[in-house]
Amino acid sequence: MKFQTVCFFILVTTGFAEFPDGFLFPDDFLLGAATASYQIEGGWDADGKGDNIWDTLTHERPQYVDDHSSGDVADDSYHLYLEDVKLLKAMGAQWYRFSISWARILPEGHDNYVNQPGIDYYNNLINCLLDNGIEPMVTMYHWDLPQRLQDLGGWPNWVLATYSENYARVLFKNFGDRVKLWQTFNEPQTFMDGYCSDTGMAPSINAPGIGDYLTAHTVILAHANIYRLYEREFKQQQQGKVGIALNIQWCEPETSDDVDACDRYYQFNFGIFAHPILSEEGDYPSVENERVDNNSAQEGYTTSRLPKFTQEEVTFRKGTLDFMGHNFYTAVRGREGVRGGSPSRSRDSGMIRFLDPKWPGSASSWLRVVPWGFRNTLNRIAKEYGNPPVLVTENGFSDYGGLNDTYRVLYYTEHLKEMLKAIHEDGVNVIGYTAWSLVDNFEWLRGYTEKFGVYEVDFNDPSRPRTPKESAKVLTEIFKTRRIPDRFLD
């Protein structure tokens, strides 16, 4: 194995004033930033990489993306990863969460042929991070399924639970000596929607209320397969941890009669993954089982649209989690009622969600700024699942660009304060945080119109220069002083 040792960056550090008061991060708390392969790498056909479902969608149906753009070049991190490590080091990041492109490693999706340049790329990135004292966290799947596996039906096909395990074995074998933090999947709640509409996320398959549940089922089986694989073949030697990254928005009931509606929102979107893995029953939330079974029968289906686990699968899967990855952005309001076509997950959940116009907005239609929702959500996870270790793997704010990103700065400082209250005042076991995102990048169907980076990237310049925004400077100060600066305290 090649080890690259040329990338130790020496930085000029600036001193920060001591803030006697303020919110402190626990000593061993990890602070860092996050990205994902398709959103930053580019190099879409470089050095033997295979096509994935986002290559297909952006090339064949460019009109699905607001600015008709793609991740063909994106931040060009495939070539500029040393720049990214430099930014992380400048920020004082202790860890970096990035994802591996399945089709860069296994161009056909299968493990019979491994693309060595893909292995080399991630080895170089991982080694450079470690040379600079930054711990790598790898997400195995952040939405870029090899097209060849989509041709076989994609996530609704349960054989992908086995193919995912084979892919994971290649990753553990090649990188597990140095990578100790693994996440199997990022936000299955979001990418299952790729099977709910023919105008939506890749692969844009229109099978709501069916394709999404089948996807969830495969992902849960795949997650367990990967966790057990690690336990069986790698853990003793490599001593790493395996988790999953689940997102959920806080649901604030419209009235006191809407508490159950919000509870169902939570169970249909977070419990659907967390319950099978962490609950005593090891099954989907009972309210979800009952409602989908009932609706399916009424709609004339002989078999429930929500698949069932065998007892063997339940036993195999229960407790397959070393930490919970949690992505938090925003909140919704919820009330009792039925909305959505028949069939659909929305209709099954029997609740209506909407945005509160009083909550400050962002560039993203779905993203309102509700920092207290973060504390509530962290408390809910702790209470429902026995206070597992939680790594906050995404949290961030979108605007339309500009270096003076005042609202992003406020977003971060307010959310970090709520997280610290959850840790210090509520005893929630949060052990790390990565900001989304290190750099502006390809925001899926929004293309480059919405910016989430703390570093600005000039996408018109072929060399893709990165420039710190105000938020990068404030996060740098927070990462290095390990506290919220006094000027952001009430």
Ligand X SMILES: *[C@@H]1O[C@H](CO)[C@@H](O)[C@H](O)[C@H]1NC(C)=O
Active site members: 394
List 151, 290, 299, 356, residue binding ligand X (CB under 6 A): 290
Q: Give least dist CB 297 to ligand X, A.
A: 8
Residue 135's nearest CA partner among 244, 33, 255, 249 is 33
Q: Which CB atom, from 67 or from 290, has the smaller least distance to ligand X?
A: 290
Which span sits near ligand X by CB under 6 A: 16-24, 139-147, 289-297, 311-319?
Answer: 289-297
Q: Give least dist CB 340 to ligand X, A.
A: 15
Instruction: Using CB under 6 A, count the residues that bind ligand X.
Output: 5
CA distance 414 to 399: 17
Query: Is residue 342 involved in binding ligand X (CB under 6 A)?
Result: no
CA 208 to chain centre: 22
CA distance 180 to 108: 27
Q: Which CB atom, from 151 or from 299, has the smaller least distance to ligand X?
A: 299
Q: Give least dist CB 295 to ligand X, A.
A: 7
Q: Which CB atom, from 291 or from 415, has the smaller least distance to ligand X?
A: 291
Q: Which CB atom, from 315 or from 342, has the smaller least distance to ligand X?
A: 342
How many angstroms separate the first and last alpha carbons of the chain?
52
User: Could you tell me if 97 and 88 are in contact, meaning their C-beta atoms sit under 8 angstroms apart?
Assistant: no
User: Could you tell me if 209 and 344 are in contact, meaning their C-beta atoms sit under 8 angstroms apart?
Assistant: yes
CA 428 to chain centre: 20
Q: Which CB atom, from 249 or from 471, has the smaller least distance to ligand X?
A: 471
Q: For the packed helices 116-131 and 77-91, what is the interaxial angle rounded to 10 degrees?
A: 20
Q: Give least dist CB 291 to ligand X, A.
A: 5
- Residue window 199-218: x/- pattern of binding to ligand X, with contact defined by CB under 6 A: --------------------
Residues in the chain: 490
Which span sits near ligand X by CB under 6 A: 235-243, 287-295, 307-315, 477-485?
Answer: 287-295
Q: Give least dist CB 292 to ligand X, A.
A: 10
Residue 67's nearest CA partner among 345, 278, 363, 273 is 363
* Phi, psi angles (nearest 5°) of residue 313: -65, -40
Q: For the packed helices 116-131 and 160-175, what is the interaxial angle rounded to 10 degrees?
A: 50
- Residue window 355-394: x/- pattern of binding to ligand X, with contact defined by CB under 6 A: ----------------------------------------
Which SS3 state, helix, strand or coil, does residue 444 take? Answer: helix
User: Could you tell me if 480 and 92 are in contact, meaning their C-beta atoms sit under 8 angstroms apart?
Assistant: yes
* Phi, psi angles (nearest 5°) of residue 436: -100, 115
Which span sits near ligand X by CB under 6 A: 7-15, 264-272, 288-296, 332-340?
Answer: 288-296
Which span sits near ligand X by CB under 6 A: 158-166, 227-235, 290-298, 371-379?
Answer: 290-298
Q: Which CB atom, from 264 or from 421, has the smaller least distance to ligand X?
A: 264
Q: Give least dist CB 287 to ligand X, A.
A: 9
The residues in 390-409 that bind ligand X, with binding defined as CB under 6 A, are 404, 406
Tell me the CB-side half-sphere exposure of residue 111, using CA atoms within 13 A: 14
Q: Which CB atom, from 116 or from 294, has the smaller least distance to ligand X?
A: 294
The residues in 291-330 that bind ligand X, with binding defined as CB under 6 A, are 291, 294
Q: Give least dist CB 404 to ligand X, A.
A: 4
Bridge partners, residue 343, by sequence = none
CA distance 285 to 345: 14
Q: Which CB atom, from 290 or from 486, has the smaller least distance to ligand X?
A: 290
CA distance 239 to 177: 9
Bridge partners, residue 324, by sequence = 244, 390
Q: Which residues contact 6 (CB under 8 A, 6 or more apart)?
A: none
Q: Give least dist CB 258 to ligand X, A.
A: 17
Residue that the structure tokens 């392969």 belong to: 37
Q: Give least dist CB 40 to ligand X, A.
A: 27
The residues in 54-93 that bind ligand X, with binding defined as CB under 6 A, are none
How many DSSP H helices and E strands does the chain contain?
18, 13
Bridge partners, residue 466, by sequence = 457
Cis peptide before 77 (omega within 30 of 0): no
Q: Which CB atom, from 13 or from 294, has the smaller least distance to ligand X?
A: 294
Q: Give least dist CB 280 to ligand X, A.
A: 21
CA distance 106 to 44: 14
Q: Which CB atom, from 121 or from 213, has the smaller least distance to ligand X?
A: 213
The residues in 108-127 that bind ligand X, with binding defined as CB under 6 A, are none
Which SS3 state, helix, strand or coil, does residue 353 take? Answer: strand
The residues in 400-459 that bind ligand X, with binding defined as CB under 6 A, are 404, 406
Which span sits near ligand X by CB under 6 A: 159-167, 186-194, 286-294, 422-430?
Answer: 286-294
Binding site for ligand X (CB under 6 A): 290-291, 294, 404, 406
